[in-house]
Amino acid sequence: MGITKSNVINNFINRVVTPAYNSCVYWNTYNPGTTRMDTSKLAGRDVTRPTTGNLPSNIITAVQIRDMANSYAVNTTAYRRARSGLMGDNGAMTDDRTDVCRLLDTYRITYTTPNVAMVAGQVASQTNENNYFNAVRVAYDDAQLNAAVVDLRVCHSSCHTSCHGSRGRR
């Protein structure tokens, strides 16, 4: 008996989405507030997840799994490292920290699709599926660690001139 659609989706969520979700410290309803972070760049904590409807047939091929994983794994790249804190006069910082945040989808990053054997037309096996989902997670982790940290720090109102010169607050 082959693997089921619900098994594929649950396995993908457990191996790819959940670790990213659990890495998230701040999102739009849980954050240090507008005095420490530009919260306009934060989104809800969860990302769009696949459903069994995303697999077109009851006989699931390796290519279908790969295509579904690649199209939904990109959503997890909205979990990014971001810097928060209050920038004061003369560059002084309060509560300066870097954490993983769920940012807006415009902050998603690209990563290289894992090079794991998935033969066209091959009926999927649990081993191939597990290997591919693990490789997707590793590829995303590498992309997240290598992506630039998003600066969400905020300026103290008195630093218009000190921090930004005559240009004003940006």
Do the beta carbons of residue 133 and residue 19 sit within 8 Å? no
Domain extent, residue 22, equals 5-167
92: region left, alpha or beta (phi > 0 left; psi from -120 to 50 alpha): beta
Q: How many domains does the chain have?
A: 1
**Tell me: the pLDDT tens digits for 30-55?**
988 888 899 999 999 999 999 988 88
Do the beta carbons of residue 78 and residue 43 sit within 8 Å? yes
Do the beta carbons of residue 85 and residue 94 sit within 8 Å? yes
**Tell me: the pLDDT tens digits for 103-155?**
999 999 988 877 776 665 566 778 878 888 999 999 988 888 899 999 998 88
pTM for this model (two decimals) = 0.81
**pLDDT value of residue 2:** 60
What number of other Cβ atoms are within 10 A of residue 14's Cβ?
11
